[in-house]
Amino acid sequence: MSEENPNFSRRSRRAESKKNPKITEEKNEELVQAGQFAQIMHPIKRFWKKYNLTKILIIVLLLFVVSVGSYLFFLAKTANVKVLQSSIETQTEILDKNDKEAGTLYGQKGTPVTFNQISDNIKDAVIATEDRTFYKNHGVNIKRFTLALVTLGHFGGGSTITQQLAKNAYLTQKQTIDRKAREFFLALEINKHYSKNEILTMYLNNSYFGNGVWGIQDASEKYFGVPATQVTTDEAATLAGMLKGPEIYNPLYDKGKYATPRRDTVLQNMVNAGYLKQSDADNFMKVDLQSELKDNYSSQMAAYKYPSYYNAVISEAESKYGLTLQEIMNNGYKIYTGMDQNMQSGMQQTYDNTSLFPTAADGTSVQSASVAVNPKNGEVEALVGNVNVDNYNSFTNFNYATMAKRSPGSAIKPLIVYSPAIEAGWSIDKLVDDSPADYNGWKPTDADGLWRGEVPMYQAVANSYNIPAINTYQTIGPKVGNALGRDFGIDLTSKNNVLTTALGAGVETNPWQIAQAYSAFANNGTMDEAHLITKIENANGQVIKRAKVSKKRVISKDTADKMTEMMMGTFSNGSAYNAAPASYTFAGKTGTNEDVDQWVVGYTPDLVTALWVGFPDPKDYKLAGTSEGQTSVIFRQEASYLYPYTSGTEFKVKNPYVTAGVAPLTSAYTYQRQLQDDIVSQEQAEAHTTGNTPAVPSSTSSSSSKESKSNKLGGLWKSAQDTAKSAQKAAKSAWNKVTDLFRR
């Protein structure tokens, strides 16, 4: 009979308990706790078994896995990898309104090359270092992917070349499980549609190599001064080594401190992968990397033809069509726009002539921006966002045409003062008072400090008199005026329901918004949403986005006509009489915000142009004069380039100054004006157009030089007559009111 095991003997346990009563107490306490836990768990177990929660949990987990997998599979499918190759090889192209190329965006891609244009040294170095199973795997490495899942995307031993291509082309660089999973499915799709040689070529054409250089061809030129076909083994090892960290491992960083050991690591990888003998690798490791460097690369971005316009196109594609900057720059889109290249080129010639723009005492130039929009469809035909001064990149820097927040000054008057007045039934020759006024301590004046008494409203508009505008705004009500201003697209809130808003104080806008607003006057009261893009095609020619332009009636046609009548006087007898180009009749408005902002806005039935001038930091620099001065000269210069490429449509309404028999003001001769007249003649000959000013019948035209010389004097005399007539009307109106009292 075998000996009893003391560990299972009740007698032994009792004996042990007598020797050590403390053990007994501990055991009892454990039993009590176990019993309590069992009592708690018992109803839970019953509930769990009753409703088969184990099966439900398994089903939920399976559904979750299937759902996530299906979602990621859907993302991979909808990524449309079929156009990946053409997207990488094709640069995004900007086209004008005639579907002609207006430029390309280079972005995150360099000069594309084919598989045969890449040295075998580069291919071997990249495969040995990045993915030795490249030609065997199906686009993914299961072991690495599993490790990435287990570590929630923080580790994975590196991705395959196909996965890296998917990441570079479609995803962010952030290491997350979501990104890693999407990368997995995209890699499978890419591997399904392309050969290994095509994938390797796309990868090298779409990789970043530091210092703003993308693609193996440009990298070879940047660092070694040769095309990708001529790269040596040690140079190839350097380029392949940069893929892990291009900003650190490029040979220009810290004199190659990190690039040299990284090159040596790649060379050893090539040995381990069987691409290179150890003796050859040892010899290459002895080569001084810095002695091999030679830079033959020139950035294509510096040659952008219309940088401000491209900048605005990208912003619109992002904000309006939901495209990312990476997609816009890299996916080989064709972006169709409303650009007129003749106009755009002429506007840029104006801005390239920096002598036209005022400068501060220390030489600091003003900034300026201009937008020209077709009022019939809202297409922006020309846009420049800044003056072409040194160290200012028009493509990447602040675009004043679309981003600025500047006061419109008196350019706001037609929008919130006079349009609502006309809508309320006021006539354009209604007498308004230009006399000193005190608005609770605010005593505004005009730039010349003069007072005119009662004048017809069209004269107040043309000469931008402040007191009549404030009084009119006060009469119609700031809330009413601002409500119409919002319909014009100006950002106005309840804070702007104050009298100073009539002069533009407290209002922030830019040339884009002003040009869009004034297009309603040129288009019979209807305002089309200003836009640059008409449609976007992918690299395979499929339309993926098409413009949906909003259109709304802001004012009646009658109001638009009357506003145009009054604003024609601005260019013939008012504050912009220096601004209209030869042979063109304009309507519009000027605006001066003290010594900070100056505006000229002009239009014909064919084109609306808004021009702003001001220093970037008005606290440090101040403008001299008003918009009647140099800003009008700048406007006339660019208008001389732009308007010959319009149809030359005449206004159907009459200038009230002409109706009243007042001759237009005549600008003094200057060499600059003669140059501008020559520009008009040259551009009209090129475009085969004429101006929109009606021909004067020979019977009424001037026939003597004496009459021509006295033209301005006659104009002043007629202006005085006009003022006298206005005074007579006022006296008659007052007499009628008195007689009405007696009739009652």
- Return the active site residues: 130, 410
Residue 366 · residue 614 · CB < 8 Å: yes
Residue 445 · residue 422 · CB < 8 Å: no
Residue with tokens 């220093």, as numbered in its chain: 615
d(CA 525, CA 514): 15
Residue 246 neighbours by CB distance under 10 Å: 19
Q: Which of 734, 571, 545, 589 is nearest to 655 (CA)?
A: 571
Beta carbons within 8 Å of 382's beta carbon, 6+ residues apart: 309, 339, 340, 343, 344, 346, 347, 370, 371, 372, 642
Q: How many CA atoms lie within 13 A of 161 on its CB side?
A: 31
N- to C-terminal Cα distance for the chain?
Answer: 143
Residue 469 · residue 410 · CB < 8 Å: yes
Residue 119 · residue 228 · CB < 8 Å: yes
Tokens for 714? 């006659």
In single-letter form, the type of residue at position 534 comes to T
Residue 579 · residue 568 · CB < 8 Å: no
The 8-class DSSP code of residue 365 comes to B
Tokens for 77? 């499918």
Residue 304 · residue 91 · CB < 8 Å: no
In single-letter form, the type of residue at position 109 comes to K
Report strand pairing: 334-337 vs 533-537.
antiparallel
Residue 168, φ and ψ in degrees, nearest 5: -65, -35
Beta carbons within 8 Å of 92's beta carbon, 6+ residues apart: 104, 105, 107, 328, 329, 330, 331, 332, 333, 334, 335
Q: Which of 410, 464, 475 is nearest to 434 (CA)?
A: 464
Tokens for 59? 């089903």
Tokens for 353? 């002539």
d(CA 363, CA 189): 58
Provide the β-strand partners of residue 224: 294
Tokens for 327? 């997609």
